Amino acid sequence: MPWTMNDYPSSMKNLNNTTRKKAIDIANSMVDEGYDEDRAIPIATSQAKEWAQNANQSERDRFKNSGKPTERSEEGKKYDDNPERLEEGEHVITHNDGWAVRSSDAERPSHVFENKNDAIQRAQEIAENKGTYLIVHRQDGSIQEHQSY
């Protein structure tokens, strides 16, 4: 059963509505990708809190008004036929606002930081949690370093 704004883990009850919605969205996606619920909930909560701290007001407003959180279902799992998504690594790349953390096949970054070291630290956390890899890029887009977890 997917988590919704009306039915979510009790550990998310003290989050404000927008952060809770983001946590639900992340947790539902993680479970769809194969994470156990017990592991997905704390990771999603932590990532949602960090997103709320780092997102600007327009990003938070856009997400708040974007409708229901992504719901998971047995029929409509996003990655049923694509198990390699669990192997997707993280990249630290340049961004208009500094440095971004983006999954290999993602269209948009999950996090943006003014400081490259902050972006690297966050990307390392995500890659470690997923057990994948991190690729740090230079300003010109070339690869600076590659780390496996």
Same domain, 95 and 38: no
pLDDT value, residue 33: 77
Same domain, 106 and 140: yes
Structural domain ending residue among the three candidates 29, 44, 70: 70
Q: Are 99 and 113 in contact (CB under 8 A)?
A: yes
Same domain, 66 and 105: no
User: Model-level pTM?
Assistant: 0.47
Same domain, 49 and 109: no
pLDDT value, residue 70: 55
* DSSP β-ladder status, 111-113 and 90-95: unpaired
Say yes or no to pLDDT of 82 above 70: no
In this structure, is residue 140 part of a structural domain? yes
CA 47 to chain centroid = 6
**44-64: per-residue pLDDT in tens?**
999 999 988 888 888 878 877
Residue carrying the six token digits 């070291």: 117
Which tokens belong to 84? Answer: 């390699």
Cα(132)–Cα(80) distance, rounded to whole angstroms? 19
Same domain, 109 and 50: no
Q: Supply the range of the domain harboring residue 26.
A: 15-70
pLDDT value, residue 1: 53
SS3 9: coil
Compute the average pLDDT of residues 30-47.
Answer: 87
In this structure, is residue 32 part of a structural domain? yes
What total number of domains does the chain contain? 2
Q: What is the DSSP letter of 7?
A: S
Same domain, 92 and 148: yes
Residue carrying the six token digits 């946590």: 23
In this structure, is residue 29 part of a structural domain? yes
Same domain, 65 and 24: yes
Q: What is the DSSP letter of 78?
A: T
The residue with greater pLDDT, 126 or 115, is 115
What are the CA-CA distances from residue 42 to residues 12, 51, 60 (Å)?
9, 14, 21
Q: Are 128 and 134 in contact (CB under 8 A)?
A: no
pLDDT value, residue 142: 94
Structural domain ending residue among the three candidates 70, 95, 111: 70
In this structure, is residue 9 part of a structural domain? no
Same domain, 54 and 93: no
Which tokens belong to 26? Answer: 């992340």
Compute the average pLDDT of residues 129-147.
Answer: 91
Q: Are 5 and 20 in contact (CB under 8 A)?
A: yes
